[in-house]
Amino acid sequence: MLKINNLSKYFGKRQVLHQVSFSIKKGHITGLIGANGAGKTTIMKSILGITKFTGTIQLNQEHIAVNKHLPLQNVGALIEYPGLYPFLTGREQLQLFATGDNQHQKVEDIIEKLNIKSFADSKAKNYSLGMKQKLGIALALVNHPQLAILDEPMNGLDPQATKELRDLIVTEKNNGTSFLVSSHILSELQKLAEDVVVIDKGRVIKDTTMTQLLLANQQYILIDTDNNKLAQQLLTAAGYQCTETKEHLQISKTPQVSIGIILKLLFEHNIEINDFQQKAGDLEESLLGILNNESDLRKEA
């Protein structure tokens, strides 16, 4: 539903975005990942038409520009820090921004969904960072947008509020809302995002699915037995890449590796298994691997 093509941005003579291109599918959660200063927030501001750019941005095939905001009427956003009116209550601010039919019900629904009833009738000037963040998210979602753009939405949230937000995003996604989410909390993004766009120094260096990104990181099977030395000899002789660590045998996991065959081999030689686990793909390790590889390519160039 959102298509970005050759998006470039200059601040004076300094180019901060370099021909950025990617798309967001309807009803998908896309994670925008990159270091501080990589260009994530600038991309989001460009989508919202609040900063000039070159290239094209289309939402449902309609072009967005700084002087053309009509396509954005079904977009909700939280960029950087929520802009709140300090002397209005949370409920009053939601009522101010609610549009269309059933405005009262929309406000009551989002208050309930984000669990902000306890402070919805207090003035925003007295809010904590977490309260302000939750109200900012509520403002972004109150009108049931087709697309929600959330910049660091977990900022200032405690673990319970983070889980509630994650569950809400998934629920809204299942109801058809598309999300573009940036977060430095990679463990949370790993649980949420289906698609991933990795930005480095204003360039897209990876546009893929979360599953494919995690598969790019090496995965292992970890086994501890009553005779690790013999187990390693047997597994190595059988063609497995097996190394011994302090606590486990570490077997490189590939599509050809069969857990059942490994266990059968050890059982046939009367080797008892004390511990068995799989090390799943990790977003942080995958991301660091991609960034390090990109850095090496630039050095070679």
Confidence of residue 280 (pLDDT cuts 50, 70, 90): low
**pLDDT of 63:** 94
CATH architecture under which domain 219-279 falls: 2-Layer Sandwich (3.30)
From the number of C-beta atoms within 10 Å of its C-beta (0-12, 13-18, 19+), residue 102 rates as exposed
**In the chain, domain spans:** 2-214, 219-279
Token duo for residue 225 = 């037995």
Return the higher-pLDDT residue of 57 and 250: 57
pLDDT at 201 > cutoff 70: yes
Same fold, 2-214 and 219-279: no
The span from the CA of 185 to the CA of 33, in Å, is 10
The CA-CA-CA angle for residues 279, 243, 236, to 5°, reads: 110
> pTM of this prediction?
0.79
pLDDT digits (tens, 9 = 90+) for 146-167: 999 999 999 989 999 999 999 9
The span from the CA of 154 to the CA of 254, in Å, is 34
The span from the CA of 295 to the CA of 205, in Å, is 11
pLDDT digits (tens, 9 = 90+) for 131-145: 999 999 999 999 999
CATH architecture under which domain 2-214 falls: 3-Layer(aba) Sandwich (3.40)
pLDDT at 81 > cutoff 60: yes
The percent of residues above 70 in pLDDT, for the chain, comes to 94
78 SS3 class:
strand
pLDDT at 296 > cutoff 60: no
The span from the CA of 30 to the CA of 53, in Å, is 22
Confidence of residue 56 (pLDDT cuts 50, 70, 90): very high
pLDDT digits (tens, 9 = 90+) for 12-55: 999 999 999 999 999 999 999 988 888 999 999 999 999 999 99
**pLDDT of 240:** 86
β-strands 178-182, 29-33: how paired? parallel
**pLDDT of 217:** 64
**pLDDT of 216:** 65
Token duo for residue 200 = 């480095």
Confidence of residue 253 (pLDDT cuts 50, 70, 90): confident
